[in-house]
Amino acid sequence: MQKVKLFVLLFITFLGSTSFNFDKKKNDLWQSWADIQTLMKQQPRPILIDMYADWCMYCKQMDRTTYKNDSVYTFLKEHFYCLKFNAESKNEFDWNNKKFPFDNKNKLHEFFEYVAKGNFILPTTVIITPDNQPYTAAGMLYVKDMELMLKYYSTEYPHTSFQDFSKQYKTSWK
């Protein structure tokens, strides 16, 4: 009986540590802005910025689903640098030789206001191309939506328009 209890305890511990490591692995997707700037000098890539707020339930849903998807995670790790950006952050943000502070009037960060172009919907996914052009997708992105964006900005931009690419591309990620 003692051996059975010990086996059950070890098995539960193993399951817990395995799921913990899985979640930890998926959390290593996000990098600091300072690290991304350094990496861009060595190997330019598109940057994905996940604009979120702590209260945003769709932001949390994307974290639990879209960003945890194996295909999305693997593709992002191989082809993009990734940053989580709180749209309500009070920290100044430097990008493209411009400083973006917190906007006390709107209670939003000016960088979010800039890339969202007045469309203040969260989550907002921003792709910054290696030539520093920001492209945004407002709202919850499911795996198939994310696949389309990631494949376009990593392989076809700027040679093909997004509209032409999206008409002919067939998503395959589940």
Q: What is 30-62 written as a DSSP string?
A: ---HHHHHHHHHHS---EEEEEE-TT-HHHHHH
Within a domain: 110: yes
Structural domain range at position 119: 25-168
Instruction: Return the pLDDT at 118.
Output: 85
pLDDT tens-digit map of 66-93: 999 999 999 999 999 999 999 999 999 9
Instruction: Return the pLDDT at 174.
Output: 87
How much helix, strand and coil, in percent to the nearest 5, is found in the chain?
45, 20, 35
Within a domain: 9: no
pLDDT tens-digit map of 30-63: 999 999 999 999 999 999 999 999 999 999 999 9
Query: 142 by DSSP, 3-state: which?
Result: coil
Percent of the chain with pLDDT over 70: 85
Within a domain: 5: no
Cα–Cα distance measured from residue 132 to residue 18, given in angstroms and rounded to the nearest whole number: 39
Instruction: Return the pLDDT at 24.
Output: 53
Residue 143 contacts residue 66 (beta carbons within 8 Å)? yes
CA proximity to 116, closest of 92, 137, 140 = 137
Total number of domains in the chain = 1
Within a domain: 19: no
Within a domain: 68: yes
pLDDT tens-digit map of 121-147: 999 999 999 999 999 999 999 999 999
Residue 162 has pLDDT above 90, yes or no: yes
Cα–Cα distance measured from residue 19 to residue 25, given in angstroms and rounded to the nearest whole number: 10
Within a domain: 11: no
Cα–Cα distance measured from residue 65 to residue 71, given in angstroms and rounded to the nearest whole number: 11
